[in-house]
Amino acid sequence: MRLDVVILGGGIAGLWLLARLRARGYRALLLEQAQLGAGQTLASQGIIHGGLKYAIDRKLGQDSAALADMPGRWRACLAGSGEINLGPGLLAAERHLFWARRNLASRMAGFFGSKLVRGRVETLPPEAWPAALRDPQHVGAVYALDECVLNVPALLARLLALNPAAIKQVSGETRLSMAEDHVVLDCLDGDGRPRRLQASHVVATAGAGNEALLARMGLAPALAQRRPLQMLLLDNAPAPLWAHCFDTSDKPRVTITTHHRRDGSLVWYVGGLLAEQGAGQDEATLIQAARREFAQLLPRLDFSRSRYAGLRVDRAEGATDDGSKPEGPVLRQPADWAGRCLLAWPTKLALAPQLADQVLAWLPVPAAADAAVDLADWAAPGIAAAPWDCAAWREAA
């Protein structure tokens, strides 16, 4: 059987693209070599940024322009009126918050009153502040952003359920070769049986795995970059919270999202500057730094029952000249593959819809009238465990 498109990699970029392609009638198949979401997607905080975070240092560049539409597009999908019908029940939080410490609140008030952000942010009265931030001695202002937060494990399950027959497990690397007018893919399925596929086009959305694919397609590995983080996890969290704390830097000091472990307990998953600086620290140093941050930012909260863990994870992206974050999705086309292969990085989970638009613009219209893929004897991968369900917890020293 000749496929229109084979997608390599089942993170958000590949799964979103698959859903768009199948809805448009492409005979498309996705191959995943580990488990769905195993790379960055399940390690993400699930925030559908609208770009406001990047406007904080007063520059609304292309970066925030690329992100500005995203909350609306995702919300339409959740409401059943978007490009993919995700349906309800996938939000962890309706709105991400942003808090300013008491001594810096007036600086933030000027910014949030400015034309730059008007209509995209709401100042919350103290009675609407979440319990974790109700500490007027230390918290000076709380704002709600036009940004929602997704329950990423539930999102992955929903995307798998949209196209279960078109998502397949492979073990190890898939070998690619060019035939006259198509690409041949040789791989082993999840049971170790050899499989050969033919596809008019191949799109690699393999995250960090794109680096190995670049090398095999004859492209310089330098076309990809990684930006390392060490995220902080904290269990038995004092209260649910989805918020950035901004301070004097243009980056959030901490970005907190809340997740439920399988046993129902609450976990804070913490990024921001803490995690960027944590990349160069060992786990014990990160945990000490986190405890100092919380003692300073939210001293009224009780963390006495909390345990901690660090999670090292790289942001895998298309390369920029100076190693900074790309402005939007990055797509690269290797010259020797007759325009049949593409490597793609969304840069942000939020930008997966934009990446799919760009791939759709690159592809010819689908050849097959019938998008069905008949490979019933080839199993689908499962969904990987979320970081908070497989962390090695440490008692605080």
Ligand X SMILES: Cc1cc2nc3c(=O)[nH]c(=O)nc-3n(C[C@H](O)[C@H](O)[C@H](O)COP(=O)(O)OP(=O)(O)OC[C@H]3O[C@@H](n4cnc5c(N)ncnc54)[C@H](O)[C@@H]3O)c2cc1C
Contact footprint for ligand X (CB under 6 A): 8-14, 31-34, 38-41, 43-47, 49, 170, 173-174, 205-207, 209, 213, 229, 231, 271, 313, 315-316, 345-350
CB nearer to ligand X: pick between 66 and 229: 229
Q: How far is the CB of 73 from ligand X (least distance, A)?
A: 12
Give the integer Cα–Cα distance in Å for 307 and 393.
Answer: 6
Give the integer Cα–Cα distance in Å for 169 and 283.
Answer: 33
Residues 155, 104 contacting (CB under 8 angstroms):
no
CA 118, 124, 126: angle at the middle one, nearest 5?
A: 155
CB nearer to ligand X: pick between 125 and 172: 172
CB nearer to ligand X: pick between 87 and 228: 228
| Beta-sheet strand order (sheet of 254-260) | 121-123, 139-145, 97-101, 243-246, 254-260, 266-271, 224-235, 307-318, 394-395
Q: How far is the CB of 373 from ligand X (least distance, A)?
A: 17
Q: How far is the CB of 175 from ligand X (least distance, A)?
A: 10
CB nearer to ligand X: pick between 261 and 325: 325
Q: How far is the CB of 156 from ligand X (least distance, A)?
A: 10
Give the integer Cα–Cα distance in Å for 165 and 371.
Answer: 11
Q: How far is the CB of 231 from ligand X (least distance, A)?
A: 5
Which residue, 196, 211, 178, is CA-closest to 341? 178
What are the CA-CA distances from residue 42 to residues 23, 46, 205, 240, 259 (Å)?
Answer: 24, 8, 15, 19, 12
Residues 321, 267 contacting (CB under 8 angstroms):
no
CB nearer to ligand X: pick between 17 and 133: 17
Give the integer Cα–Cα distance in Å for 385 and 214.
Answer: 28
CB nearer to ligand X: pick between 32 and 235: 32
Q: How far is the CB of 210 from ligand X (least distance, A)?
A: 7
